[in-house]
Amino acid sequence: MIWDGRFNGALGLAGKLATAPEAQECVVRNWFRFAYGRNELDTPDGCTMDTLMKAFRASGYKFRDLLATLAETDAFLYRRVNAGGAP
């Protein structure tokens, strides 16, 4: 659990959150929702979420790499776009 133990100030909290699996998964889930314009629970996106989480972990949790991986998945490249241009 991410709240185990003490921390000192904002940097201490950031350090605890950065190493917490719950927070790491939350980052991937929310970036997925933002980039793809849908909730991962409403569609069969389990494989995409798996790919994103593995790539994020392998990169050492670098946002730049997560964003690149988001844009490289089939779910992003072949997503349906509305006539108005919004996902």
Cα–Cα dist 48/27, whole Å: 14
The pLDDT value recorded for residue 78 is: 79
84 lies in some domain: no
* pTM of the complete model: 0.75
58 lies in some domain: yes
Number of domains in the chain: 1
The pLDDT value recorded for residue 2 is: 52
86 lies in some domain: no
Low-confidence ranges of the chain (pLDDT < 70): 1-4, 81-87
The pLDDT value recorded for residue 86 is: 56
- What is the residue range of 33's domain? 21-77
Cα–Cα dist 68/72, whole Å: 6
Nearest to 32 by CA among 11, 14, 53, 16: 53
Q: Say if CB 16 and CB 7 are below 8 A apart.
A: yes
29 lies in some domain: yes
